[in-house]
Each structure stands twice: as C-alpha cells, then as structure tokens.
Amino acid sequence: DASKEIIDYLFKLVTAHEKNNLLDAHIIVLKIIKILAEKLIVDGFYIKEKHDDESYELVISITEYIDYHYAQKISLDDLARMTCYNKTYLSNIFKKKTGITIFEYLRNVRMQHCLYELKHSDDTIVSIALNNGFANIQIFNRVFKEVYQMTPKQYREKNKK
C-alpha cells in the first residue's frame, strides 16, 4: 500500500536528518516523489487545466522513456522526435508540471542508479559512470560533487555495504 510505504520512508527521512545524512535524505525524498507520482498516475488524479490531460501524458511518456533509457545518450532532439512535439514546448511543459528540467530529471535518475551501484557493487567508479549514461568520468565527478558535496569515492567509502 502506497500510504504505508510513504510513512515508512518519512520515518527513514527523519532518521536520516537526525543523523545529518543528506545523501540518504535526498534519495528518500526522490523515492517518496516517485511513489506519489505513480499513485497519481494509477488513480488518474489530475488537477484540471486546459489541455492538462495531454500535458500530463506527455510528462509521463518522457519520464518513462528516461527511466527505461537513462543509460543511453538522450537528447532533447530525441525526445522531440519520440513525442512529436518541439523542444521548447517539451521543456516548458516538463518544467511547469514537475518543477525541474528534463535534464535535471535525467541527472537524478542516473545519479540514483550510480548511488545504488557505488553502495552495492564492486564495479569501478569509471564503469559505473559510463554504464549509467555519463559521457565521461570528469562530468560524473563534477555532477556528483555538485549534488552531494563529496566525491564518488568518498561516498563509496562511507556507504559500502
């Protein structure tokens, strides 16, 4: 049940904040958002605006595409071709409906997968970065440090299970 799952995550979120573990708190918040979004989609609950159903369907198709293809190179041109909408419209609708850009969403999905692999696999950091859609290790390291204020190596050492 989604309600129980969210409550469990909220308790975990409080614990993460008490321990000042911002990385885990960030991941938990993303998981809660994912559950809420899935619940809204399953229940067909939409806030009504003009053309709203079409807008939400478009956002859903973009997020599903990214969730499935995150490890590949994804461009705005690819998404425009896939949806048959122009790039500006796609960007604007996505930002309006989600509060983040398409590429922030893509980065978050990739980072979630990287965090999991850093914690649970022995793959090299380079291979984790490249296997999850980052063009090179330099970009991955820069983005990781911007988001989590530590290097991937520091995260792995701190969180390795």
Task: Give the E-state strand segments of the chain in sequence order.
Answer: none
Return per-residue pLDDT of the chain as tens, 161 residues.
777 888 888 888 788 777 777 777 778 887 888 777 776 655 555 444 444 667 888 998 999 999 999 999 999 999 999 999 999 999 999 998 888 899 999 999 999 999 999 999 999 999 999 999 999 999 999 999 998 899 999 999 988 75
pTM comes to 0.69
Q: What distance in Å separates the CA atoms of residue 116 and residue 62, rounded to the nearest whole number?
A: 23
Count the neighbouring beta carbons within 10 Å of the beta carbon of residue 52: 12
